[in-house]
Amino acid sequence: MKLNELAVLYQEKLNALYDEDEVQSLFFIALDEVMGYKKTDYVLNKQELVPDTALLKLNNILLGLIKGTPIQYIIGHTEFYGLKFKVNPSVLIPRPETEELVQWILEKCQSTVVGGQDGQIVNLTSKIVNIIDIGTGSGCIAIALKKHLPKAYVSAIDISSAALATAKENALLNEVGVTFIADDILNHSEIYPSKFDIIVSNPPYIKEDEKADMHENVLDNEPHTALFVSSERPLVFYEAIADFALENLKKDGLLFFEINANLGKETIQMLGAKGFVDIRLKLDMQGKERMISAQKSP
């Protein structure tokens, strides 16, 4: 089979699940994974016969996609903030919106004054700061922050032992030192003796009554405990993390959340009621209310 014939086969078999552009994107991810071919390589070599071994692997990827399995789980990895991460059904597949959250934190670190005296500006990228990521999953947030803030002390917690095992593998893969802790933020038992400069979390925030709007391959494959909350108490994790932050953030420390785009107002009100100041809502690239930062009052 030629490469262009394989591309047509992918379109024919997947057009019921994905639109044309998505199928093309999946095909090029598969092609890069198996043959190391980028889109330009395909254009130059599309009349080339696919070697039997490569064809078998590409067909197996196609079979997985037909079943609705996300390609990231099929090939076992994905890219996040320019770094490679192992993923499996015990962790969520990192999203581009979460990359924007990491970028926002790094931008804040480049401009925020922490521990400065007499108006002195302190750049956190060159200062030892203490960061914790709550509900780390694959470790993508914690690891990306540590990679770009090498002097920072970064820790991360998750209730799932399987998720923590994956996160530890990803820290090794990306050659960073992150401390991983097994804990349940809704009933945390660990003692955190050090205060944090930054607390960040992308907790479960999709309401049960929003399931109908989601793609089937997400519902059928990604861990529901990392995705969904009850429709009655959609901010349960945010409330618990905010309380944790009141106890464990330094004075003027920063709290960052990825949020449900439909609950921005409610999240701001909750943080304000708990005494946080300088609460800021940030839109993602799609114009959705996706991120919030808040500061612990002095």
Which band of pLDDT confidence, cut at 50, 70 and 90, is reported for residue 49? very high
**Residue 40 confidence (pLDDT) above 90:** yes
**Residue 215 confidence (pLDDT) above 90:** no
**Residue 3 confidence (pLDDT) above 70:** yes
Q: What does the pLDDT read at residue 190? A: 80
Q: Which residues of 257-278 are buried (b: 16+ CB within 10 A; e: fewer)?
A: bbbbbebbeebbebbeebebee
**Residue 219 confidence (pLDDT) above 70:** no
Q: What does the pLDDT read at residue 209? A: 64
Number of helices (H), then strands (E), belonging to the chain: the values are 11, 11
Over residues 207-214, mean pLDDT: 66
The residue assigned the tokens 């914790």 is 132
**Which of 184-188, 202-206, 248-252, 271-275 is most confident?**
271-275
Q: What does the pLDDT read at residue 222? A: 61
Kindly report, residue by residue over 99-153, the tens digit of the pLDDT: 999 999 999 987 644 444 444 444 555 567 999 999 999 999 999 999 999 999 9
Helix (H/G/I), strand (E/B), else coil: 250:
strand
Q: What does the pLDDT read at residue 110? A: 79
User: Rounded to two decimals, what is the model's pTM?
Assistant: 0.89
Amino acid (one-letter) located at 91:
V
Q: What does the pLDDT read at residue 117? A: 45
CB 135 within 8 A of CB 203: yes
Helix (H/G/I), strand (E/B), else coil: 200:
strand
**Residue 218 confidence (pLDDT) above 80:** no
What is the C-alpha separation between 157 and 161, in angstroms, rounded? 10
Q: What does the pLDDT read at residue 192? A: 86
Q: What does the pLDDT read at residue 116? A: 45
Residues 6+ apart with CB under 8 A from 289: 259, 261, 264, 281, 282, 283
Average pLDDT value for the chain: 90
Kindly report, residue by residue over 77-94, the tens digit of the pLDDT: 999 999 999 999 999 999
Specify the DSSP class assigned to residue 112: -
Residue (of 251, 255, 244, 288) closest to 105 by Cα position = 255
Residue 107 burial (CB count, 10 A): 10
CA dihedral for 38, 97, 63, 85, sign (positive or negative): positive
Residue (of 190, 291, 196) closest to 250 by Cα position = 196
Specify the DSSP class assigned to residue 194: S
What is the C-alpha separation between 81 and 96, in angstroms, rounded? 8
As given in the structure block, the two tokens for residue 66 are: 């037909």
CB 26 within 8 A of CB 39: no
Q: What does the pLDDT read at residue 231? A: 75
**Residue 246 confidence (pLDDT) above 80:** yes
Residue (of 213, 286, 296, 208) closest to 252 by Cα position = 296
Helix (H/G/I), strand (E/B), else coil: 224:
helix
As given in the structure block, the two tokens for residue 27 are: 């095909």
The DSSP annotation for 16-51 comes to TTS-HHHHHHHHHHHHHHHH---HHHHHHHTTSBPP
**Residue 203 confidence (pLDDT) above 80:** yes
Amino acid (one-letter) located at 259:
I
